Amino acid sequence: MKKVLITGAAGFLGSHLCDRFIKEGYYVIAMDNLITGDLKNIEHLFPLENFEFQHHDVSKFVHIPGKLDYILHFASPASPIDYLKIPIETLKVGSLGTLNLLGLAKEKKARILVASTSEVYGDPLVHPQNESYNGNVSPIGPRGVYDEAKRFMESITMAYHRFHGLDTRIVRIFNTYGSRMRLNDGRVVPAFMGQALRGEDLTVFGDGSQTRSFCYIDDQVEGIYRLLMSDYTDPINIGNPHETTIKEFAEEIIKLTGTDQKIIYKPLPQDDPTQREPDISRAKEILGWEPKVNRAEGLKNVFEYFKSLSPEELQKKEHRDFSGK
């Protein structure tokens, strides 16, 4: 049985990757420090013999006994509400965490896939964004703690690939949505869903003309899995190229939820990207991948998930207390 280590395993994306690798017959080692993850996302896997959980911060030395075939490094805060509250931890997991896991991959002769992000493109001057575009990022802006952590992650991963011959993969993940997202994590899909379900007005930042492209979780996981199993070592965009404005998206949510809230507008945060759409030509050509789930179907699934949450979860404003971090 092949063995895979998945970091950030109790998070939204990490937990779905655990499910996929269990389904594929792997022994899964799930690792998370639970700063932004939640054990409830993976508790259904605990009874399985081919699953184990380690409560650990990958910014500290990582030891896994025995053989290891694959490492998927998904540990990191991934929403602005989190990484703006814990900027140092965000930088550390992208730098020290990546260094520790690259060292582990080298020791075990394992293939490692690191989770980068569309945020490496910053507020892009090229549209749609392809992998050869180097981005427009402010290293000292508030969002720089996430953007630059991921850019460093890519750089050191390629250094290990070139210098040590390490078997590496880099995925640049664009906006993804699905079950197990936190309602209070600040990202637009759960934010709008939560506001609609609580009977609140939907908050749009700026004038709503900024664009995003939303990829359903099942499509994202399939793209990541195909990349891991491919022979391609340069970064690849995995996302949905069907772009929508935030204002149009808010209107879609109001229609889907059958609520009659207003849309209210607030100032756009500093360095918030005005356009976000992946060029997925490379993924189509190399991985034979493109998204299959349309937004109407995906949002319906997510709405059913959020409707199933308890009233306590629906009203929860903070995932955890970050004071003193």
Q: Which pLDDT tens digit goes with each residue over 142-181? A: 889 999 999 999 999 999 999 999 999 999 999 999 999 9
Q: Which pLDDT tens digit goes with each residue over 6-34? A: 999 999 999 999 999 999 999 999 999 99
CA atoms within 13 A on the CB side of 235: 28
Query: Residue range 185-192: average pLDDT?
Result: 86
Query: Is residue 324 very low, low, confident or very high in pLDDT (cuts 50, 70, 90)?
Result: very low
Q: Could you tell me the two tokens for 288?
A: 């034979």
Query: Is residue 61 very low, low, confident or very high in pLDDT (cuts 50, 70, 90)?
Result: very high
CA distance 54 to 39: 11
Q: Looking at 26, 70, 83, 146, which residue is catalytic?
A: 146
For residue 278, give the DSSP letter: B
Q: Which pLDDT tens digit goes with each residue over 210-249? A: 888 899 999 999 999 999 999 999 999 999 999 899 999 9
113 phi and psi angles, rounded to 5 deg: -115, 125
Check: CB of residue 215 under 8 Å from CB of residue 237.
no
Q: What is the dihedral of CA 193, 237, 69, 111, to 10 degrees?
A: -140
Instruction: Let me know if 265 is a catalytic residue.
Output: no
Of 36, 29, 28, nearest in space to 10 by CA: 36
